Chains A and B, each alone.
Chain A
Amino acid sequence: MRQPTDPTFVPLAALSAHPRQWRSLEEREGVVAEDIPLQSEFSQEDRREFLRLMSASLALAGMTACTRQPTELIVPYVDPPEQTVPGHPRYYATAVPVSGIAQGVIVETHLGRPTKVEGNPDHPASLGATSVISQASVLDLYDPDRAKEITYRGDTRSWENFLLALGSMLNPLQGTGEGLHILTETVTSPCLGAQIEAVLAQFPRAQWHQWEPAGSHSVSAGARMAFGRPVNTYYRLADADAVLALDSDFLACGPAATRYARDFMDRRRRGDRLDMNRLYSVESSMTSTGGKADHRLPLRYSEIEAFAGAVARGVGVPDTATAGEAPNAQWVDAVVQDLAAHRGSSAVIPGDWQPPAVHALASRINTALGNVGKTVIHTAPVEVQPVDQLESLRDLGNALDAGSVAVLLILGGNPVYNAPADFAFARLLGQAKNTIHVASHHNETSAYCQWHVPESHVFEDWGDTRSFDGTVTILQPLIYPLYRSHSHLEVLEALVNQPARTSREILNAYWMGKKPARDFESWWRQSLHDGFIADSALPEITVAPVPSPPGAAVSAAPAGGLELSFRPDPYVHDGRYSNLGWLMELPRPMTKLAWDNAVLLSPRTAERLGFPNQQRVTIQRGGMRVDASVWIQPGHPDESATVHLGFGRSRAGSVGNNAGFNAYLLRTSSALWSAGGVQLTKTAPHYPLATTQMHQSMDDRPVAISADIEHYRQNPDFVRPLENAPERGESLYPPWAYTGYAWGMSIDLTACVGCNACVVACQAENNIPVVGKGQVLAAREMHWLRIDTYYQGDPENPAVHFQPVPCMQCENAPCELVCPVHATAHSSDGLNDMTYNRCVGTRYCSNNCPYKVRRFNFFLYQDWYTETLKLQRNPDVTVRSRGVMEKCTYCVQRIREAEIRAKVEDRAIRDGEVQTACQQACPTQAIVFGDINQRANRVAQLKAEKLNYALLAELNTRPRTTYLAELRNPNPALNTEHGG
């Protein structure tokens, strides 16, 4: 799969640092037509006018992009680049940072176009898998709504204009930098950190502020509380036998989730599966982690600290002072006993959004249990400068308010949208004399800034970044910047050095200073090739806990009434990805909602308040109010509500604008993650929310089969009667022969955490269109692979089952025999092939598919007209048109490619050589694919396991995709069904 990085790869940016470009003959001759009123669009207040101009500018987007084409490459590939074979993709290692913390990836490029992101098997944050956001990062690159030009008050300017203006802004600062403020998001990039330090050295009175709206504020504050200094903590779950998640969604959310999920599930499925780890989850909302937990306890956000305190007391943490008594003594006892029985092999993981006190308590519990250094690792912070970001932003706000900000340089981020509501950042921005915003999109903050510099995508320019354990990745460009964009490095360089160096020169110089000059080049190339710098992970440190003064580590008790918790969205995060259709349309793991956030309420609370599902309500908190829709979430704690950040944006772009509601409007600096005393009142009767799964109950059908481990131990064949499979050969038709390969898939339901990485990977690989909220509401979403989430049992705290459902590739496929035109036919290796060109669209195949995995192009869903989106498409997969059926093909293009390669090399395809996109992306390796004709193959072995079952086997469809029934490991001491 992975090929060595091309050592000769030199991006065009490095070859032509500042090519002379011109847009018209006048401009070339020096007649600079600056005063042409080209762009006044962003000064328009009128929304309709704005949309009209946006669509016009979209239509012109292709033209503007053309101006960047270097004239000397009009006839490409007369001298083809070395090692480039058209039709053969190349793979480059880089990383995708989210909130500054990266996941190592390998990007597939076709003739210079990045098309697909895969995990980097050697990178600690990936191990070959990817998060949802990494998968979608390639769409971010081609987002047609990205900022394309440097603008000043909406008018286009050149980079030279910007440099001149920057010079005149900085001149009055007289070299001290008094009044220069730089606002960044979390910075882990060593090189960018050095750049900022260089700026601060040249302008000693300049100030650097950081603000990450959904960052790890509580984590660092908690570390300060527990250890007296900033400490980075991560977990080695491969060695953890008992895990307590304190409102943490560590399996599906956060920068290390991919790794955690892998480690946790590797441990869970160790050996014969009878030696499982155990997960307790105490949480204030329903998450994937809670869904996978062996025991789940829904508690209100504010009650979790008391629970953590009780556990801390139980395991013998001295001087534990907490707010209130623990709500459930039986639970606490069971957890304490289990943790105590696994000293050194347990872990307590607090959620990023829990208050610092909980983090401090978790640290103390882990220390008391002797987990530190075994399952819980402390290192120096990965951030260049760990600060209290809230205070940092407050300082900036005060400086702005005082009118002492002469130049405000905002590097990335969107504080107007996501700063605490009480800061009124939009108003404050007006107090700055000069404002520069460097961001990929012309977003809410850009609208309040004078200058806007388009920021290069992470795949377009050089840089570096760190992952959760500190491993550094050199970010290498994979494509020449699509627009006139610049990296943060270049913009900072413009502050200190004239003439400025390019990103690559800056980065090179930085790392040359860090590494011995001898053999630097080979070290550099090796690091680029590997996708990370060897041995750059931060060393483990030993930190002594500081004793807590009694009462100091207690969070303020919440105000009464309904409690509101804020969460970053699992996909669009803090809102920065809300213009990515893949992520907006990806159903959220628990609610299956797409395109909207909602106020999540427990069934009982919704009943008490008299809200039906999808009731439109006004959330009122103090003087702040937002209109939102109610979603009744089984398993949500009572008398509390959860809202997700990242929606309700006004300037996200054509995809993300006005989707959902903006929960930031309720989020203040005193209540970053939770607020009490919230009121919900009914407004309009009904606001439709688009969900991809309307029934989340299995209706007692054996669909997602699961059992407790004790049941499995006593009755290893428990699956057979539930599967109810007919005898082989019960068919009027003769069986297929399958003499060559016979492709099959096994999906382990124990391992699936419902994170949806497979779904978005499938979407990226197979050119699956985004259909929009209206079509999702009409049940016409196009995902070839879906993850069904089922609830079972008590709606107040149900058991949760995730079940990925791709095409089953039945051997007796019901779809095949009803197609009137042979558009879906059986292949010799057992695939149900779809011939799109032949399909006339009767949809009979879908009616006859008991799994309903077929998807139909009711309209022309694929965007055939936006130029940049065309670049993303996988050239090996047909772009479907209107009126044809489509479905999972087991990534047949990958199978055929491997077949050809094997044939050229005169050998059989090796086990594991073909990976489907979903399999490759899966963090927990729940999906295994291969040739089932070879008994020794992993997939064949999994299918021989006792837990293996075919979905709806009694229909005699003989599916090639089969499941391994889910096993859980409940604590006998907590003698309840699930959750307790």
Chain B
Amino acid sequence: MTAIEEKQRHTERPPDPGRPPAVLIGGSTFGTVTDQIASTVLSRKTPLFWWIVFAAGLGLLTCLLIAVWFLFYVGVGMFGIEIPNAWGFAITNFVWWIGIGHAGTLISAILLLLNQSWRNSINRFAEAMTIFAVACAGMFPILHLGRPWVFYWLIPYPNTMTIQPQFRSPLVWDIFAVSTYATVSIVFWYLGMIPDIATLRDQSKSRFAYFCYGVLALGWRGASRHWRFHETASLLLAGLATPLVLSVHTVVSFDFTISILPGWHSTIFPPYFVAGAIFSGFAMVLVLAIPLRAVYGLHNLITERHLNNCAKVMLGTGLVLAYTYAIEPFTAWYSGSPFEMFMIHNRATGPYAWSYWGVVAANVVAPQLLWFRRCRVNPKPLFAVSIVILIGMWLERYMIIISSLHRDFLPSSWSNFIATLTDNAALYGSIGLFTVLFLLFVRFLPMISMYEVKELLPFSRPDGRSVK
């Protein structure tokens, strides 16, 4: 036992039931952290669980590719969309995935600025989740276009047609919001990974791995100069990413609020969407963290403390959503508009009432379990609640889109949306895509930030104590 480990052992305090659970448990040292994380990539046998889920993900991904082939070859009519329900699953999926992405940025940027160092052991895979969720999300607006091959007309670029996008349209704002978000997230994620990739480079046993990680590590040597620049860059990017957490879903909500459709045309949408995004994002973090923790034995790094904190965020944002759901009928009534009032009535009693009550059950009732500490720190109920919330949030977007569109102003144009096989293939296929990307990340990149976890160890701290 080295002197450092000895010191650490002595400074470890016995658990105190009155205090929150520790951020790290067990006698981690710099060495054990490096071994634990790097070995999952470099030396440990890929668990069977990984292979099973990866195969399932690949299967779903194949469904997606077949669906995409039909969409591009035959036409966007493969989706169940029609008039008046001109948007359907694709936009629902887009908003859902974008929302999920929000948790990663919130954890890595806002919590960094707020000095919430418990985030250090979950921020890496949460950020990866963000990027893959944004990738899934970004796919859908293109898939749902009538002519996807000219999607770039939404992007302002110098062209011989001398036509620029129509800047009053929220869809153009979306392009900026989502592409900025994707860019900042990817840069932030990669930048944050450089020291760890350098560690993998140094630990790698094969020449191929050494070469690959070497290229990706950009010549990181761990010099103090490197660390100084790295820290500054991280803080700057965190500063950049922080407003994005609020702005992206605000802009996405503009897709709806700018229109005049009852059920979309509402000023409450920006906070409502941001809260919903964080709500679903944390649910996804838990859905990923809980199995990872079990399969890779990460209980010492992802502790009850993390589960508890994530659950609290979900409870808080869930209450914001409940408030929004409650205020919507009020604003409809207060507006005096018969169209608004009909929309609320129809949402709760019409052909898509199941989606409304499903949303209430999943997003308002289910999170109430999180008032109980036992539910917050116990992985099983927490996992179940998280799954329910993810479904609920998907349903919420479906409800907003379909239950508003299917009965608008003139009764003559009303009709019902019926999802097709392609709709479902694209939805589940995007989950497959996400799964595949995420599992590849887990397999080939450090899923937990080694150097940031090490920052939590007593040796790194001025007071020589582990972070609580």
Contact = CB atoms under 8 A, between A and B. Distances in A.
Contacts of A775: 77
A364 interface: no
B410 to A, nearest CB: 6
A883 B410 contact: no
A780 B409 contact: no
Interface in B241-256: 255
Given A818-B169, A850-B409, A883-B145, A840 B76 contact: no
A792 to B, nearest CB: 12
B223 interface: no
Contact of A860 (B75, B81, B154, B165): B75
A694 interface: yes
B405 interface: yes
A952 B413 CA distance: 14
Nearest to A845: B86
A370 B405 CA distance: 57
A589 to B, nearest CB: 14
A851 B82 contact: no
Contacts of A701: 338, 409-411
Contacts of A75: none
Contacts of B172: 820
Interface string B72-83: 001111001111
Interface in A69-118: none
B35 to A, nearest CB: 51
Residue of A697, A698, A859 with most partner-chain B CB within 10 A: A859
Nearest to B151: A840
A274 B75 CA distance: 53
A779 B83 contact: yes
Interface string B378-411: 0000000000000000000000000001001111
A821 B409 contact: no
A847 B411 contact: no
B163 A850 contact: no
B414 interface: yes
A675 interface: no
Contact of B165 (A788, A820, A847): A820
A45 interface: no
Interface stretch (B21-29, B126-134, B199-207, B257-265): B257-265
B260 A850 contact: yes
B409 A822 contact: no
Tell me which of A786, A821, A854, A951 has the highest count of chain B C-beta atoms within 10 A of its own C-beta: A821
A844 interface: yes
A822 B77 contact: no
Nearest to A702: B338
A858 B260 contact: no
Interface in A751-810: 775, 778-780, 786, 788, 790, 803, 805
Nearest to B77: A858
Interface SS of B by simple majority: loop
B175 to A, nearest CB: 8
A114 B145 CA distance: 36
Contacts of A850: 260-261, 408-410
B13 interface: no
B87 to A, nearest CB: 6
A847 B261 contact: yes
B349 interface: no
Contact of B405 (A780, A820, A847): A847
B81 A695 contact: no
Give the residue among A839, A854, A858, A860 with the most B Cβ atoms within 10 A.
A858
B163 A843 contact: no
Given A778-B82, A821-B166, A856-B86, A805 B410 contact: yes
A822 B260 CA distance: 19
Given A848-B260, A884-B146, A820 B76 contact: no
Q: How large is the interface on A (under 10, 10 to 19, 20 to 34, 35 or more residues)?
A: 35 or more
Contacts of A32: none
Contacts of B410: 701, 703, 788, 805, 850-852, 951-952
Nearest to A818: B169
A212 to B, nearest CB: 36
Contacts of B170: 818
B412 A693 contact: yes
A117 B84 CA distance: 32
Contacts of A778: 77, 80, 82, 418
**Residue among A805, A854, A856, A885 having the largest count of chain B Cβ atoms under 10 Å:** A856
A74 to B, nearest CB: 38
Interface string A530-563: 0000000000000000000000000000000000
Nearest to B413: A852
Contact of A882 (B75, B154, B405): B75
B343 to A, nearest CB: 12
A253 interface: no
A852 B407 CA distance: 11
User: Which residue among B75, B148, B163 has the maximum number of chain A CB atoms within 10 Å of its CB?
Assistant: B75
Contacts, number: 163
A846 B147 contact: no
A955 B342 CA distance: 16
Contacts of B260: 814, 848, 850, 955
A843 B77 contact: no
Interface in B130-184: 141, 144-148, 150-151, 153-154, 163-166, 168-172, 175
Contacts of B405: 847
B75 A883 contact: yes
B84 A859 contact: no
B147 A841 contact: yes
Contacts of A475: none
Contacts of A841: 76, 145-147
Contacts of A26: none
A847 B84 contact: yes
Contacts of B415: 694, 779
A821 B84 contact: no
Nearest to A733: B168
Contacts of B84: 779, 846-847, 852
Nearest to A771: B77
A780 B146 contact: no
A97 to B, nearest CB: 35
Contact of A852 (B77, B166, B408): B408
A138 interface: no
Contacts of A705: none
A906 interface: no
B414 A847 contact: no
Contacts of B258: 817-818
A842 B148 CA distance: 9
A822 B412 contact: no
A882 B411 contact: no
Given A698-B411, A780-B77, A840-B150, A820 B171 contact: yes
Interface string A692-731: 0111111101010000000000000000000000000000
Given A852-B84, A856-B83, A694 B147 contact: no
A838 interface: yes
Contact of A883 (B76, B153, B168, B411): B76
Interface in B75-104: 75-77, 80-87
Contacts of B145: 840-842, 883
A565 interface: no
A518 B146 CA distance: 65
Contacts of A693: 412-413
* 10 closest A-B pairs by CB: A841-B146, A858-B77, A883-B146, A852-B413, A843-B86, A788-B412, A820-B171, A779-B82, A883-B147, A859-B75
Given A840-B153, A841-B76, 9 more contacts: A701-B409, A701-B411, A822-B163, A839-B147, A840-B146, A841-B145, A843-B81, A847-B86, A852-B413
Interface of A: 693-699, 701, 703, 775, 778-780, 786, 788, 790, 803, 805, 814, 817-822, 838-844, 846-848, 850-852, 854-860, 882-885, 951-952, 955
Interface of B: 74-77, 80-87, 141, 144-148, 150-151, 153-154, 163-166, 168-172, 175, 255, 258-261, 338, 342, 405, 408-416, 418
